Amino acid sequence: MWGMETYDKKLTRRLKTRVGFPQALQQVPIRYVDEIFALTDRQQELLIEALVNGKSVRQTLPKLKKLGDEATIELLMRTDPASTSQVGAEDIEVLTNILGDCFPGVPPVSTVALAESPVMAEALQIVKALRLAMESQNFSSDFVVVSLYAVIKYVKKTIEDKIQSNPAFLQTVLSSGLVWEGEKN
């Protein structure tokens, strides 16, 4: 098979390529590396801006490739209709408190900075989504409450399985301020 790239070779190539990206893009999922590498420097800057503003790589890359110029900025910064409100100070405060509970030795200024950082964007979106769900008039419906409870139980089990499968994750949880409710090795 002449010219075929094995999975391992592709992974190695993508990891090496990603190291050359700007710092803000060095944690993007491996599957997007080739597409990001094909972007111009300006498009990579726009991607970073979009990520800082809560957009995902998945939703931003097609827009960048389609438009590829300064007109993209407005499109990328536009709020998605699915997002009914921006992350609020109360969401950041909740995540900051959670981080403080998980890592009691970390100074409060650091937990605030971490809660506001791009690396915690997904966690912040979950805090926001839960707040919106509980503020909704639909939250008084038994069907909605039970369904949301089932979703949270499913996600909790999935995350516990992920933690259980990685000794480093398990060690971090065991040394944090959390009580581990999953199985121990």
How do residues 67-78 score in pLDDT, each as one tens digit?
655 555 555 555
Residue 2 domain-assigned (yes or no): no
Q: How many CB atoms lie within 10 A of CB 83?
A: 13
Name residues whose C-beta falls within 8 Å of residue 144's C-beta, 6 or more positions apart in sequence: 136, 138
pTM of the model: 0.52
Full domain range(s) for residue 35: 7-77
What are the tens digits of pLDDT across the range 92-114?
899 999 999 988 888 888 888 88
Q: Greater confidence, 174 or 183?
A: 174
Residue 26 phi/psi, 5-degree rounding, is -80, -5
End-to-end CA distance of the chain: 43
Name the residue type at position 37. F
Query: What six digits make up the tokens of 80?
Result: 């998605």
Residue 79 has pLDDT above 80, yes or no: no
Confidence of residue 81 (pLDDT cuts 50, 70, 90): very low
CA–CA gap between residue 172 and residue 170 (Å, rounded): 5
pLDDT, tens digit, for every residue of 109-167? 888 888 888 888 889 999 998 988 888 888 889 998 999 999 999 999 999 999 999 99
Same domain, residue pair 50 and 90:
no
Domain count, the chain: 3
Q: Evaluate whether residue 1 is within a structural domain.
A: no
Are residues 64 and 47 in contact, defined by beta-carbon separation less than 8 angstroms?
Answer: yes
